[in-house]
Structure 1
């Protein structure tokens, strides 16, 4: 039970802070609802067309590729931190990892996954 006490205190304090901030916001925050404020915000432009418009599949493909390569690059940070201890073995493994990523990027590029035509 003593090992979970700090966790319980942290959760209690976090909940208390959130509750106090929400209460203060409701008490002193301005509340002037209007029809304009209730509209969907689209970069300051007046809404045009349906909100259920379709996006091209290429948009999603580009987003997934960005996330894939972004997350994969994050795996290089632990290697960079521990490179001194891993020595040449760690360096070669990092190069193999980067080569696999480069082959994947070239494949996606050749298949036209990054074209917006």
Structure 2
């Protein structure tokens, strides 16, 4: 057992020593000139003119949440679509989950798509995608 852990411990020790060494050398050899201009926050090469704690319009948040919802939808549907590329795809998924047939797996995915479609229609009807 200790033969298996030795390379891992050696790697962790080398990584730690290298990190500490680089940080120490940087703080010892690097310039320590500070000033009013150097302590200002960097904002794309321009002087900051507003407070960083400004309020954002709620539309930005609604669009971000809608994007996340449909991004997660693709995250779930893409592996399912890849598994169903060949005709035996549903059968292989059903075989991996005991007690389920390929019809049940297909029905579950269709219910998932239907729920996402209802959510999309609701968001559309509420005007989430309309920029007023």
TM-score (norm 1): 0.66
Q: Which residue of 1 aligns with 2:61?
A: 60
* Ranges of 4+ aligned residues in structure 1 off by more than 6 Å: none
1:103 maps onto 2:110 in alignment: no
In structure 2, how many angstroms separate the alpha carbons of the residues matched to 1:71 and 1:77? Answer: 10
Give the alignment of 1:1-117 within 5 angstroms.
5=5, 9=9, 11-83=12-84, 84=89, 85-86=92-93, 89=103, 90-91=105-106, 93-117=108-132
Gaps of 5+ in 1: none
Greater RCO (CA < 8 Å, at least 6 residues apart): 1
Q: RMSD of the TM alignment (CA)?
A: 3.3
Range that drifts further, 84-93 or 97-106: 84-93
In structure 1, how many angstroms separate the alpha carbons of the residues matched to 2:74 and 2:15? Answer: 33
Counting matched residue pairs gives: 116
Gaps of 5+ in 2: 95-101
Range that drifts further, 106-115 or 21-30: 21-30
In structure 2, how many angstroms separate the alpha carbons of the residues matched to 1:20 and 1:91? Answer: 56
